[in-house]
A = this chain, B = another copy of it.
Amino acid sequence: MVKSQLNEVFAALADPTRRAMLADLARVPSLTAGQLAEPHSMTLPAISKHLAVLERAGLLTRTRRGRHQICSLNPRPLREAADWLSRHERFWTERVDALHDYLVKETP
């Protein structure tokens, strides 16, 4: 039932505008579409599309209140994405540690 969605979630995260929106929603629990649009120099239709992408990924729920569109974050798919990453983290860490000596000169 809760089919993967990982594709959509990672795809949604691949755009800086959408990451900024998610970051905004992490700070303020609910924002209107206009408020989410404001920091970005972009037309409203573009914003609306980004919201649609976030909604399809299950990251966002939109509800009309009067003439405002209230957007709020649904963090569960983000947790799924983080889980996918941490599921393999042990292996990376081992390798990162192994590389540390090797790379220490490149990363002061």
Contacts and interface: CB of A to CB of B under 8 A. Distances in A.
A26 B81 contact: no
Give chain A's interface residue range (CB within 8 Å of chain B).
20 to 34
Interface string A1-44: 00010111011011110010011001101000000000000000
A49 interface: no
Q: How many copies does the complex hold?
A: 2
Contacts of A78: 85, 88, 92
A24 to B, nearest CB: 10
Interface in A55-86: 73, 75-76, 78-79, 81-82, 84-86
A61 to B, nearest CB: 11
A22 to B, nearest CB: 7
